[in-house]
Chains A and B, each alone.
Chain A
């Protein structure tokens, strides 16, 4: 019984102190300005489970259990307090940054637990989530895609804006369309959403030039036009991800919109996921719709 409540209009932006934090702030400020929603900055304190000390003596004696509990508690307490302080500072910096860009209504929030849990907690009150493609866990690694992005996108049914590099407000956008259910949902969502209103957009499909494909594409574009969007449509040939990337570069698109993870994990394990490849290789922010 999730009803659209009047206060379900918050932009929830997740920051963790990684390089993407500034981009997330800027993107949140941009989105909140357009959809006229307050911003909630969320910093999640995830527990580090890895023990720090090395004690392989393997001996337990008088009161070992209570002493061990004390030691582990103390260690967690120290880490927890540091993380809490650190998070507070991050949140304050974030507030300053978006206030400088004109955002008025900013809420700061810290939660313990996993990122996904925290996001699910706020899902009902959130209109749009903003996350960075690369988080603190993945910095300096070979991953082009953050360790939690997929989990988050799969678990959350609200739109997610994933920033890539520094954020600059997009001037035109493209919607990656493949005729699937996920893509159709994406079209419907974009049609309803005010966030892209007034920006020129492209509906792009990669596939054979068949009547079916063309008809689907035209229908999608027509839906968007009816909703007041200014869109053109294109049918491209070739490799899905590469064609989309090339098209994006050539047309100067600043935001990619797509339905995410339309297939089961099982299929993706064998076939791989276009969503994942798109997120990994995109040079511009992505608006992911589930």
Chain B
């Protein structure tokens, strides 16, 4: 265990330190931009980013993943801050942390297996769109200077790395921020700067308990927000963890990550910060810059605090346009562009799930609702597909007085009607045999459908004999355990 800790922290020191520096630069714009959207001072987001990154470095389940104050979370806080103020946001942050820790202990992380690939893609794309849309207020009703600066900033970010030798040594977002700040100071442009957006941190964060009455009323106010924050935070964190797992081909502990996010959020709430979660864009930047270990996340958080506390005079002069450029980069990097290409070759159900997720998120600004809709749609499509795995064959005997129906396949709520429709009740028969031994009855609806078939035949005066009943009905019971027994699986899957 000591070896694991050593490996996770100090297995990759040099690259982790450098990557942490690069990531810290990409954390600042998001923390500032989304504090403003949430309606609080930038320092709330910056303290949160510091605290979450540093704490999650120790307690997270995915080494090398970056967590901090995020856009997805900030968008859920807007009305809470507007109606009740900052103190209630801090209380909600604490409660979010508690809920996430509970989720971790209940092992809700494993529920992620119900979130299909297309929902994840939709989530990621919706997130990118939200981050981009959050930049629009900075780009409306402004002078042409702002547009020029933003465009120039994006130009620097994407073109600077192409310069041989130094291009890959200096983070291009840093060049963009420093360059644009110098330019605007040099020519004395009157454009919005970070300093205009609210209070920046001037001291190290201090411990403080949210100034709210501890009663049921407070709980009822913050609980809905906390539940949403906890859900979105865990969803984004677990999805990001999966992305980092894939990129680095290493496993992560999802339930530990849930608990870690909770602890980090409690820490943030107590230091006057807002709730946060893992960030896809910044985590990708981290991996791309060579960050793999816990040290990279820790470094990012610590450097962020050092930069904003000791350079606050300079930070306040950064034009918002420079940060907007960095955030547009994050949004472009987060968006899954290959999913657009895949739209043509994926089945329509997959596309519907992905696009519905995106549309619902963009409409509600709530990623949890979008994922909920996506998962629901994906499940319905799946049920619909499985419902097609049903065939009913029939053979009449030579005299035409008796018929045997053989049910093969999956009978459940979605295929029960098709099951009933496969029987010909108009045929005048003396005797009908229904062979269920190769059919699989999943639920009560399917059993009721069988009853209905038998009764219908009896009313026509036909003698009905159901065979193989035991094999079929035994499976109605939700006994997932049978999959461990090879011969049981044979029986279950015998239908197709």
Q: Which chain A residues border B336 with CB–CB below 8 Å?
A: 65
Q: Which chain A residues border B334 with CB–CB below 8 Å?
A: 60
Q: Tell me whether A72 and B247 are in contact in the complex, defined as CB-CB below 8 angstroms, given that A54-B169, A55-B290, A56-B170 are known contacts.
A: yes
CB pair B332 A69 closer than 8 Å: no
CB pair A50 B12 closer than 8 Å: yes
Count of chain A residues with a beta carbon within 8 Å of a chain B beta carbon: 25
**Residue B337, interface by CB 8 Å:** yes
Chain B residues touching A, majority SS: helix
CB pair A68 B290 closer than 8 Å: no
For residue A269, which residue of chain B has the nearest CB? Answer: B2
Q: Mark A55-67, 1 if CB is under 8 A from B, else 0.
A: 1111111111110
9-residue interface stretch from B18-26, B388-396, B430-438: B18-26
**Measured between C-beta atoms, what is the minimum distance from B5 to chain A in Å?**
12
Cα–Cα, bound, A68→B246 (Å): 11
Cα–Cα, bound, A58→B21 (Å): 10
**Residue B86, interface by CB 8 Å:** no
**Residue A53, interface by CB 8 Å:** yes
CB pair B330 A60 closer than 8 Å: yes
Q: Which chain B residues border A54 with CB–CB below 8 Å?
A: 15, 18, 168-169, 290
Q: Which chain B residues border A47 with CB–CB below 8 Å?
A: 249
**Residue B160, interface by CB 8 Å:** yes
9-residue interface stretch from B133-141, B181-189, B216-224, B280-288: B280-288
Which of B18, B19, B292, B329 is within 8 Å of A59, CB to CB? B329
Chain A residues touching B, majority SS: loop
B interface residues, Cβ below 8 angstroms from A: 2-3, 11-12, 15, 18-19, 21-23, 25-26, 157-158, 160-161, 167-174, 243, 246-250, 281, 284-285, 287-290, 292, 329-330, 332-334, 336-338
CB pair A72 B248 closer than 8 Å: yes
**Measured between C-beta atoms, what is the minimum distance from A263 to chain B in Å?**
15
Cα–Cα, bound, A73→B246 (Å): 10
Cα–Cα, bound, A54→B22 (Å): 12
Q: Tell me whether A57 and B25 are in contact in the complex, defined as CB-CB below 8 angstroms, given that A64-B333, A66-B338, A72-B248 are known contacts.
A: no
CB pair B337 A55 closer than 8 Å: no
Q: Tell me whether A57 and B12 are in contact in the complex, defined as CB-CB below 8 angstroms, given that A51-B292, A265-B2 are known contacts.
A: no
Q: Tell me whether A53 and B158 are in contact in the complex, defined as CB-CB below 8 angstroms, given that A60-B332, A64-B333, A69-B246 are known contacts.
A: no
Q: Which chain B residues border A60 with CB–CB below 8 Å?
A: 281, 284-285, 288, 329-330, 332-334
Cα–Cα, bound, A63→B341 (Å): 11
CB pair A68 B288 closer than 8 Å: yes
For residue B157, which residue of chain A has the nearest CB? Answer: A59
CB pair B290 A57 closer than 8 Å: no
Cα–Cα, bound, A51→B2 (Å): 23
**Residue A76, interface by CB 8 Å:** yes
Q: Which 7 residue pairs are nearest across A and B when measured between Cβ atoms?
A: A60-B333, A57-B161, A58-B171, A58-B22, A51-B290, A64-B333, A59-B172
Q: Tell me whether A59 and B287 are in contact in the complex, defined as CB-CB below 8 angstroms, given that A49-B292, A64-B333, A65-B243 are known contacts.
A: no
Q: Mark A204-247, 1 if CB is under 8 A from B, else 0.
A: 00000000000000000000000000000000000000000000
CB pair B248 A56 closer than 8 Å: no
CB pair A63 B246 closer than 8 Å: no
CB pair A151 B168 closer than 8 Å: no
Q: Which chain A residues border B18 with CB–CB below 8 Å?
A: 54, 56
Cα–Cα, bound, A55→B332 (Å): 19
CB pair B11 A49 closer than 8 Å: yes
Beyond the given pairs A58-B23, A60-B330, 20 more chain A to chain B contacts, judged by CB atoms under 8 angstroms and listed by A's residue number, are A49-B11, A49-B248, A53-B290, A54-B18, A55-B289, A56-B19, A56-B21, A56-B169, A56-B171, A56-B289, A57-B160, A59-B160, A59-B161, A60-B284, A60-B285, A64-B284, A64-B288, A65-B284, A72-B247, A72-B249
For residue A71, which residue of chain B has the nearest CB? Answer: B288
**Measured between C-beta atoms, what is the minimum distance from A276 to chain B in Å?**
14
Q: Tell me whether A61 and B247 are in contact in the complex, defined as CB-CB below 8 angstroms, given that A55-B289, A66-B338 are known contacts.
A: no
Cα–Cα, bound, A65→B333 (Å): 7
CB pair A58 B292 closer than 8 Å: no
Cα–Cα, bound, A65→B161 (Å): 17
Cα–Cα, bound, A76→B334 (Å): 24
Which of B2, B3, B292 is within 8 Å of A50, CB to CB? B292
Q: Which chain A residues border B23 with CB–CB below 8 Å?
A: 58
**Measured between C-beta atoms, what is the minimum distance from A57 to chain B in Å?**
4
CB pair A57 B168 closer than 8 Å: yes
**Measured between C-beta atoms, what is the minimum distance from B283 to chain A in Å?**
10
For residue B24, which residue of chain A has the nearest CB? Answer: A58
Cα–Cα, bound, A57→B160 (Å): 8
**Measured between C-beta atoms, what is the minimum distance from B80 to chain A in Å?**
31
Q: Which chain A residues border B25 with CB–CB below 8 Å?
A: 58
Report 8 cross-chain contacts, Cβ distance below 8 Å, ordered by A residue. Answer: A55-B288, A56-B168, A57-B170, A58-B23, A59-B160, A61-B329, A65-B247, A69-B246
Cα–Cα, bound, A60→B334 (Å): 8
Q: Which chain A residues border B160 with CB–CB below 8 Å?
A: 57, 59
CB pair B172 A57 closer than 8 Å: yes
**Measured between C-beta atoms, what is the minimum distance from A146 to chain B in Å?**
13
**Measured between C-beta atoms, what is the minimum distance from B104 to chain A in Å?**
26
CB pair B172 A58 closer than 8 Å: yes
Cα–Cα, bound, A65→B245 (Å): 12
CB pair B15 A50 closer than 8 Å: yes
**Measured between C-beta atoms, what is the minimum distance from A83 to chain B in Å?**
15
Q: Which chain B residues border A55 with CB–CB below 8 Å?
A: 161, 168, 288-290
